[in-house]
Structure 1
Amino acid sequence: MLLIGLGTDFLGILSCNILALDEAERMLLIGLGTDFLGILSCNILALDETERMLLIALGRTSSGSSAATS
Structure 2
Amino acid sequence: MRCTILASGSKGNCTYIAGSNGAILIDSGLSAKETLSRMTQTGCQADSIDAIIVTHEHTDH
TM-score by length of 2: 0.30
Structure with larger RCO (C-alpha < 8 A, sep 6+):
1
TM-score by length of 1: 0.28
Point out the structure with the larger strand share. Answer: 2
